Structure 1
Amino acid sequence: MTAIAGDPQRNAEFYVETLGLRFLKKTVNHDDKHTYHFYFGDSEGTPGSNITFFPWGERGRPGQFGAGQTKVTTYFISENSLEYWLDRLEAHDIDIEGPTEQFGETVIEFDDPDGITLALVATDDAPEAKPWEESPVPNEHQLRGFHSVTLGVNDIEPTADVLTKGLGYEFEAKEDGRHRYRSATGGPGSIIDLVETERSRGQMGTGTVHHIAYKAEDTDEQEQWRDHLIDQGLRVTDIVDRVYFKSIYFREPGGVLFEIATMGPGFSVDQSQDELGTDLALPDWLESERKEIESRLPSFETPSTSPLSDD
């Protein structure tokens, strides 16, 4: 999941100090080298746990949610962690919506500092976590990867066709206008919910999600997906080298931008596991510009990993 934030310091402090995720990588947007690209996830950056941001800073224009955008990004938590998170979010002065029930599961929603809506699903089938020992959140209560995303579209059918015919999802259920699709592979991030909105196409900017990503084991599988999606009538990019993985991108008819990224080589290709997120990581083709890039990036201090409260 990749979104657009405003102030980089505020963004990183929220996801590390409040949500307890590990700050995995500080690099730059390869398409805009004077903008940071932050990665947050579990202790190892396991696929299915990573949320990333382009923090545009003071020059960023506000976005506006609308059709063709992600409405909610939802994480798993343990069934026994709900009260912990209700207390923790309240202690950090975060407004909470819920708890409510969706498809028999207990859900709470809240916004990050830029207005991106997040949710937590408390369930007894949450996947096992790879806890980050330095997190301010105790191991047993840490976020356990993505549960689902909710996409807002003007018309369910065209997007549903891409999910089912293009990406192998299966329709599972409908409840209160929410159409649930699940990947046959299962695991973290295997659910996509579609909801209809009467809003016009969303405006990209701070506080909006830029794209969502699926995983491919390697470039061979990625090429197979690319050929298949083209056969489905979609326009798909060539493979793009993102250092930590290789990516292809396509936009479905409802307007949502999707990515399919390879599993490797991973975040430790340029930093050891212990060093992840400690220094600015640049791709080889930008290394000669390091001084100029660092001089133009906003000032930033890696967030503290000390607990903010006794919760």
Structure 2
Amino acid sequence: MTSVGIHHVTAGATSARGNVRFYTKELGLRLVKRTVNFDDPTTWHLYYGDATGQPGSVLTFFPWEGMPRGRHGTGQAEEIGFAVPKGSIAWWAERLSARNIQHDLPKKRFDESFIALKDPDGMLIEIVGTDWAGALPGHDNGDIPPEHAVRGFSGVSLWLADTEATAAVLTDVLGFKPAGEADGRQRFVAGDGGLGAVVDLRRVDWQRGAFAGGIVHHVAFRAEDDAAQEEMAKSLRSKGIGTTEQKDRNYFRSVYFREPGGVLFEIATDDPGFAIDEPVESLGQELRLPEWLEPKRQQIAAALPPLE
């Protein structure tokens, strides 16, 4: 039993309001869940994705107001690739220019065109034109035409001092396969490719990265169910890599581990999903809390900064 790709990616942000504006208005993602950091309920945990928040489309944030920006470097996930249809790259280049969002000119890598940019906190983003994104429905945010909309992740890049041990975890535990090298990257693909199926490893001779605003906290990989998750955890332990106990995150169940290159990984179950506590039609419109935090709803809501 192996992963079929990325489940979600979680990062830090310095402003909840600015984070919502950028990812919903500029990139056109749907805010599919407003909840709190279960370990720090005074802080939002915001989930963005496609229309339903399916695994492989979800980027989440812990926005700590006034938190400084982090430091890019080794031992971290860095570039986050968002997939759009292959023919939409020119449209996105025009949109970013029209909205005065600084970005690089389109480039090619692994036969895919992409545009590199940064979010307001300096997180590294790429809009990637793929062959498969056009077959998936696009979320209509009222501004970006669905045919050009982001479908979810194309993949992520890991910056590492050495890639060999991390590659072994990807192939031996998570079920990825080597898919070539280009521009100093080793590419690994889950399954037949598609949504959230790519991880690139970059050997980078930089200082160690530091988590804060604009930096990825962890990358979560998919497990179909608890049995698949436990099989992967056992495989990790057989390699001498310890994992946490399973944690209930309400919308999925998780185990965490630090892969050999220093990046925090999670294995998250596909079930039960984001519609467990609100209809798909109204995802992300109201604060949702796990049962054990409901008695403190009034205090929690009062402490959270406004999103709009």
- In structure 1, which of residues 149, 156, 162 is the aligned counterpart of residue 163 of structure 2? 156
- Tell me the residue number matched to 2:6: none
| Aligned partner (choices 50, 55, 76) of residue 58 of structure 2 | 50
The offset of 1:127, in angstroms, is 5.4
Amino acid at match of 1:223: E
Distance 2:90 2:136 in 1: 18
Gap change, CA 1:122 and 1:187, over 3 Å in 2: closer
Q: Which runs of 4+ in 1 moved over 2 A?
A: 123-135, 184-187
Match of 1:38 among 34, 42, 46: 46
Q: Counterparts of 2:218 and 2:284 in 1: how far apart (Å)?
A: 22
Q: Provide the rounded CA distance (Å) in 1 between the counterparts of 2:129 and 2:204.
A: 26
Cα deviation code 1:7-66 (max 9, x no counterpart): 1001001110111111111100111111100011111111111111001112x1321011
- How far did 1:229 drift? 1.3
Preserved contact between residue 75 and residue 148 of structure 1 (Cα < 8 Å): yes
TM-score, normalized by length of structure 2? 0.94
1:25–1:276 CA contact under 8 A, matched in 2: yes
Q: Which amino acid aligns with 2:290?
A: P
**Structure 2 residue aligned with 1:28:** 36
Aligned 8 A contact 1:2 1:211 in 2: yes
Give the conservation status (yes or no) of the 8 Å contact 1:201–1:255. Answer: no
The CA distance in 1 between the partners of 2:110 and 2:133, in whole Å, is 15
TM-score (norm 1): 0.93
Alignment partners' CA distance in 2, 1:84 and 1:11: 23
Residue in structure 2 matched with residue 125 of structure 1 by the alignment:
132
For 1:242, which of 225, 249, 260 is the aligned residue?
A: 249
Cα gap change, 1:135 to 1:68, in 2 (>3 Å):
farther
- Please show how residues 1-311 of structure 1 align to structure 2 within 5 Å: 1-58=9-66, 60-126=67-133, 128-184=135-191, 186-301=193-308
Aligned 8 A contact 1:129 1:143 in 2: no
Rounded to whole Å, the distance in 1 between the matches of 2:288 and 2:137 is 24
Show CA shifts across 1:92-123 (max 9, x none): 21111131110111111100111111101113
Assess, with a 3 A threshold, how the Cα gap between structure 1 residues 127 and 163 changes in structure 2: closer, same or farther: farther
SS of 1:80's partner is helix
CA contact (8 A) 1:129 1:142 kept: no
Between 154-163 and 18-27, the greater mean CA deviation after superposition:
154-163
C-alpha RMSD over aligned residues: 1.3
Deviation at 1:158, TM superposition (A): 1.7
In structure 1, how many angstroms separate the alpha carbons of the residues matched to 2:126 and 2:141?
23
- The answer (yes or no) to whether the contact 1:34–1:296 under 8 Å persists in 2 is yes
Deviation at 1:289, TM superposition (A): 0.7
Shift of 1:185: 5.1
Letter in 2 for 1:148: G
Q: Check whether the contact 1:78–1:141 (CA below 8 A) recurs between aligned residues.
A: yes
Q: How far did residue 246 of structure 1 move?
A: 0.4
The amino acid of 1:188's aligned partner reads: L
Q: Which runs of 5+ in 1 are unaligned?
A: 302-311
Q: One-letter code of the match for 1:170? A: K
Q: Distance in 1 between matches of 2:62 and 2:209?
A: 18
Percent identity of paired positions between Structure 1 and Structure 2: 43
Unaligned segments of structure 2, at least 5 residues: 1-8
